[in-house]
Amino acid sequence: MFRFIIRRLLQLVPTLFGLSILLFIWLHRLPGGPETALLGERGTPETRAQIRENLGLNEPLPIQYGRFVKRLVQLDLGTSISTKREVTTEFLQRFPGTVELTMTAMLIAIGVGIPLGYLAARRRGSFLDHASVGGSLLGTCVPIFFLAYVLKAIFAENLGWFPTIGRQDASIDATHITNFFVLDGLLTREWDAAADAIWHLILPGVALASIPLAIIVRITRASVLEVLGEDFVRTAEAKGLTERTVRRRHVLRNAMLPVATSIGLLTGLLLSGAVLTETVFAFSGIGAFIKDAISNLDYPVLMGFIMIIAVIFALVNLLVDISYSLIDPRVRVR
Q: pLDDT per residue over 59-81, tens digit each?
A: 777 887 888 788 877 777 778 87
What is residue 41's predicted lDDT score, i.e. its pLDDT?
A: 58
Percent with pLDDT over 90 in the chain: 3
Stretch 302-326: mean pLDDT = 79
Q: Strand ranges (DSSP E) for the chain?
A: none
pLDDT tens, position by position, 103-144 = 999 999 999 988 888 888 888 888 888 888 888 888 888 888
What is residue 120's predicted lDDT score, i.e. its pLDDT?
A: 87
pTM: predicted TM-score of the whole model, two decimal places: 0.80
Q: Where are the alpha helices (H) located in the chain, listed in sequence order? A: 2-29, 34-39, 45-55, 61-73, 87-122, 127-141, 144-151, 181-187, 191-228, 231-238, 243-245, 253-271, 275-280, 286-295, 299-327
User: Is the model's pLDDT at 223 over the cut of 70?
Assistant: yes
Angle between helix axes 299-327 and 253-271 (nearest 10 degrees) is 170
The DSSP line for 130-196 is: HHHHHHHHHHHHS-HHHHHHHHIIIIIIIS--S-SSSSS-TT-----SSS-HHHHHHHTT-HHHHHH
Phi, psi angles (nearest 5°) of residue 235 = -65, -45
Q: Strand ranges (DSSP E) for 67-133?
A: none
Give CA–CA dist 253/325, Å, rounded. Answer: 11
User: Is the model's pLDDT at 252 over the cut of 80?
Assistant: no
Give CA–CA dist 277/288, Å, rounded. Answer: 9
Of the candidate CATH numbers 3.50.50.60, 3.30.379.10, 1.10.3720.10, 3.30.420.40, the domain formed by 96-287 belongs to 1.10.3720.10
User: Is the model's pLDDT at 334 over the cut of 70?
Assistant: no
What is residue 331's predicted lDDT score, i.e. its pLDDT?
A: 57
Domain ranges across the chain: 96-287
